[in-house]
């Protein structure tokens, strides 16, 4: 509900208790301090005993509010509650507010800042009991002239609409307590509405700013970018520490609270002499609770004790007093009565209730009331309904929440397995959500809470699974894995599984395994006559969930099934099912590519583009974004297939389409444009158009810097990727110093990301460190390059230990590169060991998936031949390079465009090894073949392959010197290579000047050898 001064925006739900507690209701009303929903006077309670009253008209609510305010002003005494916990509630303000001056000043400055770029939200986080609610109340008091509204649960979306409609005036402050437990979509919508409103601010209170906050944008895709900009802004999250300031230490806080509680209760102030010291980070609520217990007992308790438990012991006297007044217990002083009342109050705190019927069900769950007659249960229900003022979620329970959590956990902890099952069986989803929320919060301060969670999840798996969908993100790592284990062995209704699976957000780091368990049960449980539309729908989702957890082979099988089904449906009704078919085919292409089935991936990718061109021709506005995405993906597949010219054409089209879309809606499509420009730079580099590639790469970095300035958390990973790629482009252009600077920035950015989320970004950091080692090597900083390379290997070893299937390919790559760095450092034995490991790892991968990893094996075998040669093991080196040539010949036979460059390189190296072995004729033949292959490549793309042709021509001369076979033809070929290097060095001196000079020196030696007609071995 919306609480505050606007009667037309407020509604009150009235709930009464039994006649026996009517006399106390006036006291609650006087003390409630405008607490939402509890404005009931004695007459109102008596008029609706044991029932939830209907909503009252706005004008009646306004009259009632004025009447109560007048009554409060006339009161000359304070009606003291019998409940001692009531004195600890923040809205009672028994202890005057103190400390946190700097924080309040910052919040006031923020609230009154009229700047257009100010984030309109602040999230105050802190452990239970540190004083977040009291701080927000104090802020409300200090904002003179402001309207302040505390937003009740389930009112987020309605409030968002009111804000958007301008119903809130200038200088309005909204407060949401327990923001992490609110409806995510409604909360995100409200944040967006407040951000775009004029002078409206919102304060959120939560115990943590964890996964629920970081992923909030996923719940509101309509304005996800705006939500991301708010949740990731540096100054939005404000941590409220336990220690309020440097002046108020725990002893001072307890002493002042003792005085305040003694005054309120009319008792003498007890001495605190001999009281033990309290840790500096003790939450204020615990200190106040300690002070309250001290006043109640007349002296500070000695020894070890849980102060919250001691408060609850005192509160039990209130329960006993009201129960006797209600004639629930009789005259006999039976110790079991205290346990019974504790069970009733504790189970109520655990489950809550939103109606009279639910209150009755709460009472029926109490173990000590098992088998009680209906009349007795009804009287306990009436007693419970009047025990505390009604809360935001219905039934009033013991407060503050830290006490409620402790009470609930203690009660369930003392129950046996049968009694626990009685408590948790047949709950509503709302009650299950509350129960798990209470237990999840209790984990922080109650040692046995994990065992209680296990018990709760095992009673009613279906209901609890639905609850976990709601609360899982609030408590990462607590509920989801437990629920997956239980679902795996539970009987699951198929329709229920479909309904629940549809509610699990995608993607979801926390809930992904739960989603997969549900989709697995769904696809396996379809009857033979199930509609194809349903089967196709869930096969698609099953594929997404499988891919989400890294089970790519199974994902491929599932998406293929979805495609087959949707082909059948499209054949029957093309207009209706063509969009779904296009989507499934697009996903199939991605999964095929992940599996290394490149030819099939390319075919599927082309089909997805064709289907979306057809759709775009029918409705350009609706399907242009999908077409742009598919064209972008198709460019990637073309590049993987070695069809570089076509890939470049495709990515250019994707860039053009995204520029068109960005012109229409920059906020929506700028991230996609940045991605396509980033990919365009890669394709330009593949085509040898280095200057253009560098320009495109710079644009991608600039676009992502713009996005990161708006939302650092959301786009920093993309910026890091683009900077990483830009370093490669700079290196290719011979701008080594700039490349090294960019590479260092990429590493720094990914270290920052890894510090925030190690699991998510450690793989990216490992990749950037691996690349940085290359840049350091290019700069001649070999020792640093070796250190970086070793770090990359170490990181990938850790990742591989966690998930061998996922990271073994990366480990193989980093070990392969580390062998190069060890060789550069002259540590040949270690280099050879590393090189052998890289070969072994890639043989293992190739045995698992030959199509995907054979190219990498060929590369590592080629490099291993170099290491063997350096170690003087010439025969083994020759065997290895022969294997590399053979592998590349097989690959080239399958896809000449993709692998001809690699074959040319391995043949070139083969010539050198043959020369080392003294096999002159074969060495010269191989060197000539390398030249011929690279002439073929240069004829196709001169910009890309001219440097390689120049190198092979130069290599002909080098081999001739090695085998003492210098001829005029060799000199002519070498001179041709020198000429090419001269041209390249003139255009890009940093990249080619050194090689040009070395080639000139080889040509000079050849001429001298021919002129001298003397042996030329060196």
Instruction: Quick: pLDDT tens for 262-317.
Output: 999 999 999 887 666 788 899 999 999 999 999 999 888 777 788 999 999 999 99
Structure tokens given for 481: 């894995």
Q: Residue 690: which pLDDT band, with cuts at 50, 70 and 90?
A: confident
Mean pLDDT of 687-705: 92
Mean pLDDT of the 243-267 span: 91
Which range of 41-55, 387-401, 549-563, 957-971 scores highest in mean pLDDT? It is 549-563
State pLDDT tens for residues 833-864.
999 999 999 999 999 888 878 999 999 999 99
Topology, domain 100-239: Rossmann fold (3.40.50)
Each residue of 484-501: pLDDT tens digit?
999 999 999 999 999 999
Which of 29-33, 211-215, 909-913 shows the lowest mean pLDDT across its residues? 29-33
State the span(s) of the chain assigned CATH 1.25.40.10. 781-894, 898-1017
**CA atoms in the 13 A half-sphere facing the CB of 7:** 11
What pLDDT, on a 0 to 100 scale, did the predictor assign at position 576?
94
Listed in sequence order, the residues at least 6 apart from 318 whose beta carbon sits closer than 8 Å to its beta carbon are 82, 83, 84
Confidence check: pLDDT of 37 > 80? no
User: Greater confidence, 29 or 728?
Assistant: 728
pLDDT digits (tens, 9 = 90+) for 157-177: 999 999 999 988 889 999 999
Six-digit token string for 304: 């070890």
Dihedral Cα 411, 413, 419, 424, nearest 10 deg: 80
H-run or E-run covering 594: helix 574-594
* Confidence category of residue 61, pLDDT binned at 50, 70, 90: very low
Q: Is the pLDDT of residue 251 over 70?
A: yes
Q: Place 559 in a pLDDT band, splitting at 50, 70 and 90.
A: very high
Instruction: Give the pLDDT score at 275.
Output: 66
Average confidence score pLDDT of the chain:
86
Give Cα separations from 14 to 5, 149, 352 (angstroms).
Answer: 18, 20, 16
Convert the pLDDT of each residue in 93-134 to its tens digit.
999 999 999 999 999 999 998 877 788 999 999 999 999 999
CA–CA distance, 690 with 491 (Å, rounded to integer): 60
**How would DSSP label each residue in 456-520?**
HHTT-HHHHHHHHHHHGGGSTTTSHHHHHHHHHTS---HHHHHHHHTTS-SS-TTTHHHHHHHHH
443-471 pLDDT, tens digit per residue, is 999 999 999 999 999 999 999 999 999 99
Confidence of residue 579 (pLDDT cuts 50, 70, 90): very high
Nearest Cα to 382, choosing from 432, 337, 344, 343? 344
pLDDT for residue 803: 83
pLDDT of residue 158: 94
pLDDT at 48: 29
- Judged against a pLDDT cut of 50, whether residue 35 lies above it is answered with no
pLDDT at 357 over 80: yes
What SS3 state is found at 208?
coil
pLDDT in tens, 928-975: 999 999 999 999 878 878 988 998 899 888 888 888 888 888 899 999
Rounded CA Rg of the chain: 36
User: CA angle, 113 as apex, 108 and 117 as ends, to 5°?
Assistant: 130
Q: Binning pLDDT at 50, 70 and 90, where does residue 75 land? A: very low
Instruction: Indicate if the pLDDT at residue 430 is higher than 70.
Output: yes
**Between these two residues, 37 and 70, which has the higher pLDDT value?**
70
Lowest mean pLDDT, pick from 54-63, 77-86, 980-989: 54-63
Distance CA 101, CA 424 (A): 45
As a whole number, mean pLDDT of residues 71-81 equals 39
Of the pLDDT bands very low, low, confident and very high (cuts 50, 70, 90), residue 895 is confident
CA distance 467 to 33: 33
Q: For the packed helices 532-548 and 574-594, what is the interaxial angle rounded to 10 degrees? A: 30
Among 52-66, 681-695, 812-826, name the one with the lowest average pLDDT.
52-66
Q: What share of the chain has pLDDT > 90, as a percent?
A: 64
Q: Where in the chain is the domain with CATH 3.40.50.300?
A: 100-239
Kindly state the average pLDDT of the residues 28-32: 34
Q: What pLDDT sits at residue 24? A: 38
Residue 445 backbone phi and psi in degrees, to 5: -130, 0
Q: What is the CATH number of domain 898-1017?
A: 1.25.40.10
713 — pLDDT class (breaks 50, 70, 90) = low
The architecture that CATH gives domain 781-894 is Alpha Horseshoe (1.25)
Contact 984, 999 (CB under 8 A): no
- Check residue 245 and report its DSSP letter: -
Quick check: pTM over 0.85? Answer: no
Cα–Cα distance measured from residue 594 to residue 852, given in angstroms and rounded to the nearest whole number: 8
DSSP-H helix ranges across 165-266: 184-196, 211-214, 224-231, 250-265
Beta strands 147-151 and 2-3 are antiparallel
Beta-carbon-side half-sphere exposure of residue 904 (alpha carbons within 13 Å): 25
**Distance, CA of 134 to CA of 177 (rounded, Å):** 11
């Amino acid at each position: 509900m919306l609480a505050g001064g606007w009667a037309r925006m407020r509604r009150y739900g009235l709930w009464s208790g039994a006649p026996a507690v009517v006399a106390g209701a006036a006291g609650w009303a006087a003390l409630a301090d405008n607490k939402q929903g509890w404005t009931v006077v004695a007459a109102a309670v008596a008029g609706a005993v044991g029932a939830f009253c209907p909503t009252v008209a706005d004008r009646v609510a306004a009259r009632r509010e004025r009447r109560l305010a007048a009554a409060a002003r006339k009161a000359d005494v304070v009606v003291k509650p019998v409940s001692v916990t009531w004195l600890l509630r923040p809205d009672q303000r028994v202890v005057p507010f103190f400390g946190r001056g700097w924080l309040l000043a910052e919040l006031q400055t923020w609230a009154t800042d009229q700047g257009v770029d100010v984030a309109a939200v602040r999230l105050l986080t802190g452990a239970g009991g540190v004083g977040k609610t009291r701080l927000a109340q104090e802020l409300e008091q200090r904002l003179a002239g402001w309207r302040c509204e505390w937003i009740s649960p389930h009112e987020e979306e309605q409030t968002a609409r009111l804000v958007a409609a301008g119903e809130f005036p200038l200088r309005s402050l909204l407060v949401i307590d327990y923001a992490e437990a609110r409806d995510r979509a409604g909360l995100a919508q409200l944040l967006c509405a407040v951000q775009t409103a004029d002078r409206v601010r919102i304060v959120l209170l939560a115990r943590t700013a964890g996964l629920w906050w970081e992923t909030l944008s996923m719940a509101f895709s309509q304005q996800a970018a705006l939500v991301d900009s708010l949740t990731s802004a540096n100054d939005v999250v404000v941590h409220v520490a336990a220690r309020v300031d440097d002046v108020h230490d725990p002893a001072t806080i307890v002493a002042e609270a003792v005085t305040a509680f003694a005054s309120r209760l009319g008792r003498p102030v007890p001495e605190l002499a001999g009281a033990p010291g309290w840790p500096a980070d003790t939450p204020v609520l615990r200190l106040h609770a300690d002070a309250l217990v001290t006043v109640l007992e007349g002296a500070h308790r000695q020894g070890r004790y849980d102060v919250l438990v001691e408060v609850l012991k005192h509160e039990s006297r209130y329960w006993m007093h009201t129960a006797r007044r209600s004639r629930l217990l009789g005259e006999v002083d039976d110790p079991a009565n205290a346990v019974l009342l504790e069970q009733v109050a504790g189970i109520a705190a655990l489950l809550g209730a939103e109606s009279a019927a639910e209150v009755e069900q709460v009472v029926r769950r109490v173990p000590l009331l098992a088998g009680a007659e209906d009349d007795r249960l009804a009287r306990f229900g009436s007693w419970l309904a009047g025990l505390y003022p009604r809360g935001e979620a219905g039934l009033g329970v013991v407060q503050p929440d830290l006490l409620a959590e402790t009470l609930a956990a203690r009660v369930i902890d003392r129950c046996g397995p049968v009694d626990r099952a009685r408590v948790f069986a047949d709950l509503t989803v709302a009650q299950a959500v509350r129960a798990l929320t209470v237990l999840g919060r209790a984990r922080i301060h109650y040692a046995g809470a994990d065992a209680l969670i296990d018990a709760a999840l095992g009673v009613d798996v279906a209901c609890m699974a639905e609850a976990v969908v709601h609360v899982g993100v609030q408590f990462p790592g607590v509920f989801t894995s437990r629920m997956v284990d239980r679902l795996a062995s539970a009987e699951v209704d198929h329709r229920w599984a479909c309904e629940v699976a549809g509610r699990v957000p995608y993607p979801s780091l926390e809930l992904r395994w739960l989603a997969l368990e549900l989709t697995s049960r769904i696809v396996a449980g379809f009857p033979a006559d199930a509609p194809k539309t349903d089967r196709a729908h869930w096969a698609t989702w099953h594929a997404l969930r499988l891919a989400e957890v890294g089970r790519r082979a199974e994902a491929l099988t599932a998406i293929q099934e979805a495609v087959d089904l949707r082909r059948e449906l499209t054949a029957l009704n093309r207009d209706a099912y063509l969009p779904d078919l296009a989507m499934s085919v697009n996903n199939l292409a991605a999964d095929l590519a992940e599996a290394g089935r490149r030819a099939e991936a390319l075919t599927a990718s082309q089909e997805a583009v064709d289907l979306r061109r057809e759709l775009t021709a029918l409705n350009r506005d609706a399907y242009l974004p999908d077409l742009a995405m598919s064209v972008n993906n198709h460019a990637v597949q073309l590049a993987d297939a070695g069809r570089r010219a076509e890939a470049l054409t495709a990515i250019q089209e994707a860039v053009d389409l995204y520029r068109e879309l960005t012109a229409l809606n920059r906020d929506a499509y700028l991230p996609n444009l940045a991605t396509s420009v980033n990919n365009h730079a890669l394709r330009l580099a593949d085509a040898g158009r280095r200057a253009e590639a560098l320009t495109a790469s710079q644009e991608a970095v600039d676009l992502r810097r713009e996005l990161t300035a708006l939302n650092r958390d959301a786009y920093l990973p993309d910026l890091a990727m683009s900077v990483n790629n830009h370093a490669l482009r700079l290196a290719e252009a011979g701008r080594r110093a700039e490349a090294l600077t960019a590479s260092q920035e990429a590493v720094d950015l990914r270290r920052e990301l890894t510090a925030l989320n190690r699991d998510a970004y450690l793989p990216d950091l490992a990749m950037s460190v691996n690349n940085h080692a290359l840049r350091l090597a290019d700069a001649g900083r070999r020792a640093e390059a070796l250190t970086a390379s070793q770090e990359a290997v170490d990181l990938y070893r850790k990742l591989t230990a966690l998930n061998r299937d996922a990271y073994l390919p990366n480990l193989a790559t980093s070990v392969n590169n580390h062998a190069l760095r060890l060789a550069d450092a002259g540590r040949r034995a270690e280099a050879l060991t590393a090189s052998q490991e890289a070969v072994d790892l890639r043989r293992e991968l190739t045995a698992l998936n030959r199509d995907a990893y054979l190219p990498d094996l060929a590369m590592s075998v080629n490099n291993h031949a170099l290491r063997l040669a350096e170690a003087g093991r010439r025969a083994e080196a020759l065997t290895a390079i022969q294997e590399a040539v053979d592998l590349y010949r097989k690959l080239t036979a399958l896809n000449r465009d993709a692998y001809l460059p690699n074959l040319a390189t391995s043949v070139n190296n083969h010539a050198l090894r043959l020369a080392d072995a003294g096999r002159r004729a074969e060495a010269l033949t191989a060197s000539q073949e390398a030249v011929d292959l690279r002439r073929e490549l240069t004829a196709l793309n001169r910009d890309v392959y001219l440097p390689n042709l120049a190198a092979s021509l130069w290599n002909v001369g080098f081999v001739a010197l090695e085998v003492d076979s210098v001829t005029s033809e060799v000199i002519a070929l070498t001179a041709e290579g020198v000429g090419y290097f001269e041209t390249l060095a003139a255009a890009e001196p940093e990249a080619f000047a050194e090689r040009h000079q070395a080639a000139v020196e080889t040509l000079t030696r050849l001429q001298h050898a021919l002129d001298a007609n003397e042996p030329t071995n060196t």
